[in-house]
Structure 1
Amino acid sequence: MASASLSLFSTLSKLSSSLPTSPPKLSFPLHSLSVKFNPPAFSLSFPPIFPGLSRLHSPKNHRPLASLTDMASDKRVFDSGDDLAVSLAKYTADLSDHFANKRGAFTVVLSGGSLIKCLRKLVEPPYVDSIDWSKWHVFWVDERVVPKDHVDSNYKLAYDGFLSQVPILPGHVYAINDALSAEGAAEDYETCLKHLVNTKVVDVSAASGFPKFDLMLLGMGPDGHVASLFPGHPLLNENQKWVTFVKDSPKPPPERITFTFPVINSSAYIALVAPGASKADAVYTALGGGSSQNAETLPVQRVAPEGVLTWFLDKDAASKL
């Protein structure tokens, strides 16, 4: 395509001044390696980026990671959704402090569904003012291949409920290229991740060789699906690709991209956030020692990270345990 070469760093600097007041109607991802939009068309070149990441303003009033690790358990059950949101905000803020100090960056993966609502306390004091948001890099574990302003878009869900209310740099928000096909969007997103691994924005697992995100915030469907990895689907067994595509999702819309289980399970920390009575059966099967016939039948049972897995449940979701 006809193109002019731009510096990614200068481009991101222009983007980073502020988030827009309403979801932009973009036909290109904020990360895109080969960006197509009309007019004009151009490509981005990638010099070493984020030279200022080593400079850290350390937020205050957060529990140190050692304390967080000590209190981490297989599952946490809360009396109310508000209590769950308070605990999840504390958990996320403590990890943000830890990785921002350790690596100069904090890579966070979001999902759709009820997860964004559960993050609502992060946009309130003390966290909205004390977290160093400039260190955050935000990704999606899966996305629907729809325009970013579409009601089914996980980007729109996150933007409306979270991203628009915190000062994360727009250039650190890695949305999919919704102008591409599902297959093209998956390939483009994987290429983006490989670039960010090469530039050490995203860590890499020494054990698996897959990208190692600092925190993956996963939801779970009533059928036990995570990301866009559904019960009985062949993609449950994909172990080579980082990002793949779905054209026959049992839940609409049918076309999606999704991280694969090797990427999910390379995470340093996974918070599996599953509130609500509709999740009770799947929670019981995954955590309550359901019958042997049901063993390993749910996608969520394949979530087994190298690092720490913590379930965040309300009493309704845990009612059958």
Structure 2
Amino acid sequence: MLINHYSVFIPISLLDSVDRQFDYILRGCHCSARSLARNMAFEGSMKDRGEVRIHESLDELSTDLADYIAELSEVSVKEHGVFTVALSGGSLINLMRKLCDAPYNKTVDWSKWYIFWADERVVAKTHVDSNYKLAKDHLFSKLPIVPSHVYPINDSLTAEEAASDYKFVIRQLVRIRVINVSNISDCPKFDLILLGMGPDGHVASLFPNHSVLEEKNEWVTFITNSPKPPPERITFTLPVINSAANVVVVATGGGKAEAASMAIDDVGPECLGLPARMVQPGVGKLVWFLDNEAASKLKRFS
């Protein structure tokens, strides 16, 4: 199959991907032909590093991301009655804001959403640095999400205490089967973990060369010396992230192009310790949402 003008050959092995992409168009996702071709071509060659979706604009990325999240929500609710989602903060929340618009605000079953944080700053919920505040202001206040289904950290505790408390909350929800358990570990299996990526390749509050990357036993841990302020944070560990059914990593802007290349391309063993590259779901699906600038140094499109 040949897409004219852009001359991207789509092998037989990508027919399923073609069906999915054209289904997005029929459902109203206005992706450009060039972006569509690039996404499909890249998807077939990224078995180890997941599926990569490259977008012409932030608006296009935001629409595709909303489509993807809504689709996962529908599947999860049909399969087991709930949709468990863990968020990070930063620009990711702004890119999710299309979920507040039609058709998603009416068609998504928001009553089945259970929301957690893959990482959080240990500050008051009203503080400008709070990931909870950011999500509440831009998402929760505009959607019919059940307030008791939202699980912020206990901001009255120290970082260490908050991490322990959050782990206890998650364990209780695993025990009553709100959150599934991974088949390959004893970790919780969230339906979706949404992550941003920093210019240094950090995800959640897992920073390069930090000892927390070696944590294998805890579900939630803490740091008191974050390279980015504020210094005290709690974060999911890599085993929990890699036990999720679906992981999405979003990166936009030229400042993240080098980290995206190191995380996605086969660029040598020196990149193996990059946190974003260590996101490798055991049996789940990993999808990267990039704009053109963040994808500009990927080998396949440079």
How far apart are residue 277 of structure 1 and its match?
A: 1.1
Structure 1 partner of 2:78: 101
Structure 1 partner of 2:247: 270
> For the residues of structure 1 that align with 2:139 and 2:256, how far apart are their CA atoms?
23
Structure 1 partner of 2:5: none
| Alpha-carbon contact 1:99-1:214 (below 8 Å) kept | yes
Structure 1 partner of 2:275: 299
How far apart are residue 62 of structure 1 and its match?
A: 7.0
Question: Aligned to 1:182, which of 142, 159, 163?
Answer: 159
Q: How many residues align?
A: 253
How far apart are residue 288 of structure 1 and its match?
A: 2.5
Structure 2 partner of 1:279: 256
Q: Which amino acid aligns with 1:131?
A: V
| Alpha-carbon contact 1:270-1:310 (below 8 Å) kept | yes
Structure 1 partner of 2:91: 114
| Alpha-carbon contact 1:182-1:245 (below 8 Å) kept | yes
Larger mean CA deviation between 257-266 and 159-168 belongs to: 159-168
Q: Which amino acid aligns with 1:147?
A: A
Structure 2 partner of 1:193: 170
Structure 2 partner of 1:222: 199
How far apart are residue 293 of structure 1 and its match?
A: 5.0
Give matches, 1:11-50, under 5 Å.
none
Give matches, 1:146-185, under 5 Å.
146-185=123-162
Residue aligned with 2:152, SS:
coil
> For the residues of structure 1 that align with 2:143 and 2:189, how far apart are their CA atoms?
24
> For the residues of structure 2 that align with 1:164 and 1:278, how far apart are their CA atoms?
31
Q: Which amino acid aligns with 2:272?
A: E
How far apart are residue 250 of structure 1 and its match?
A: 0.8
% same residue:
55
How far apart are residue 320 of structure 1 and its match?
A: 0.8
Question: Aligned to 1:126, which of 69, 80, 103?
Answer: 103
Structure 1 partner of 2:33: none
Q: Which amino acid aligns with 2:164?
A: E
Q: Which amino acid aligns with 1:240?
A: N
> For the residues of structure 1 that align with 2:263 and 2:239, how far apart are their CA atoms?
19
Unaligned runs of 5+ in 2: 1-25, 29-39, 44-50
How far apart are residue 294 of structure 1 and its match?
A: 2.4
1:256 and 2:222 are equivalent in the alignment: no
| Alpha-carbon contact 1:62-1:93 (below 8 Å) kept | no
How far apart are residue 297 of structure 1 and its match?
A: 2.9
How far apart are residue 177 of structure 1 and its match?
A: 0.2
> For the residues of structure 2 that align with 1:162 and 1:172, how far apart are their CA atoms?
14
> For the residues of structure 2 that align with 1:207 and 1:285, how far apart are their CA atoms?
27
Residue aligned with 1:168, SS:
coil
> For the residues of structure 1 that align with 2:206 and 2:61, how far apart are their CA atoms?
25
Unaligned runs of 5+ in 1: 1-60, 64-70
Shift of the 244–62 alpha-carbon distance from structure 1 to 2, 3 Å rule, reads farther
Residue aligned with 1:313, SS:
strand
Q: CA offsets, 1:217-250, max 9 Å, x none?
A: 1111000001111000001010000000101111
Q: Which amino acid aligns with 1:212?
A: K
> For the residues of structure 1 that align with 2:256 and 2:140, how far apart are their CA atoms?
26
> For the residues of structure 1 that align with 2:183 and 2:56, how far apart are their CA atoms?
39
Residue aligned with 1:178, SS:
coil
How far apart are residue 114 of structure 1 and its match?
A: 0.9
Q: Which amino acid aligns with 1:303?
A: V
Normalised to the residue count of structure 2, the TM-score between the two structures is 0.82
Residue aligned with 2:111, SS:
helix
Normalised to the residue count of structure 1, the TM-score between the two structures is 0.77
| Alpha-carbon contact 1:62-1:94 (below 8 Å) kept | no
> For the residues of structure 2 that align with 1:188 and 1:135, how far apart are their CA atoms?
24
Q: Which aligned segments of 4 or more residues in structure 1 are displaced greater than 6 angstroms?
A: none
Question: Aligned to 1:81, which of 30, 43, 58?
Answer: 58
Q: CA offsets, 1:68-123, max 9 Å, x none?
A: xxx79410000000000000001000110111111110001100111101101110
Structure 2 partner of 1:29: none
Structure showing the higher helix proportion among its residues: 2
Q: Which amino acid aligns with 1:296?
A: L
